[in-house]
Each structure stands twice: as C-alpha cells, then as structure tokens.
Amino acid sequence: MLSKSQARTFFLGGTVITFAIFLGLSWNSLSNAVPKQTHEENLTDQVVRGKHLWESNNCMGCHTIFGEGAYYAPELTKVIDRRGEPFVKAVLTSKAPWAPNGRKMVAYGFSENDADDLVAFFKWIGEVDLNGFPPEPDLKQ
C-alpha cells in the first residue's frame, strides 16, 4: 500500500510523463504525418472554393467525409473513384431533385464552375492517405 505522499508522487510523475508523451506525439503528427498524408502541396484555389461550397451548403448535414458528418446520405471520401467525375457533376448540376433508394437529394443546381470546384475538392479528399479508410468492400460474400 502506498502512503499519501507516495501516491501523490506516483500520480504527478505519471501525469508529467503522459503529458510529455502526448506533446511528443502531437508534435510528430503535426510536423511529419499530416502534411505527408494530406498532400498539402495539391491544395489549389479551386479545392479551397469547393471546400467553402461544401460548408456553405451544409453538405455535412447529410453526407460524411472521412467518416465525419451525418449518415443519411453516402460517404463522399472516395466518391470520384467509386462513381466517376461525370456522374458527380451531373448530380451537382441537376435542376431537379432526385431520390435514389428513397433518399431525396436536394437539387442545388450548381453552375459548371461550382461543380468543378466541388469535384476538385472531392478529388483532393480522395487522395488523402487515411490509413485504409474507407475499407475496400469484401465482394467474396
């Protein structure tokens, strides 16, 4: 059994060591891993405009990116790989709402330039190294 002073020393020592490990891992992530995995060098004005469109239209209210967001509509992290650029642009520029599988997609009717910006954003997202997310589907079932 530890005395009161030994327990305090053990707690404070463990806290300091754990905090130091946390700071080291945070520094490593921010200085090495994140820039390499996100490909910051590929961020263009078009990608940034696509991100602003994504946020201003509250797309995350229905869709997910990187597993974050609502689960009403499909995950869009690798949508260009799955569906292709022409399909995505057709959905974004559609003037009429459509309801695949009973889920209604709002008809935003984006302009060609806005659709191109969003496609550039989706392409950039698809190139981010997410350590295997989303997993490839098991088609052997």
Tell me the whole-structure pTM to 2 decimals. 0.71
pLDDT score, position 89:
93
Minimal CA–CA distance to 115: which of 38, 49, 62, 33?
49
pLDDT at 137: 66
In angstroms, the Cα distances linking 46 to 38, 93, 108 are 16, 17, 19
Cα torsion angle, 121, 126, 128, 130, sign: positive
d(CA 132, CA 105): 28
Q: Which pLDDT value is given to residue 134?
A: 65
What pLDDT is stored for residue 99 in this prediction? 76
Task: Tell me the pLDDT of the chain (141 aa) as tens digits.
Answer: 889 999 999 999 999 999 999 999 988 877 776 667 777 777 899 999 999 999 999 999 999 998 888 888 888 988 998 889 999 999 899 888 877 777 788 888 899 999 999 999 999 998 887 777 667 766 666
Question: What is residue 2's predicted lDDT score, i.e. its pLDDT?
Answer: 87
CB atoms within 10 A of CB 13: 10
pLDDT attached to residue 106: 84
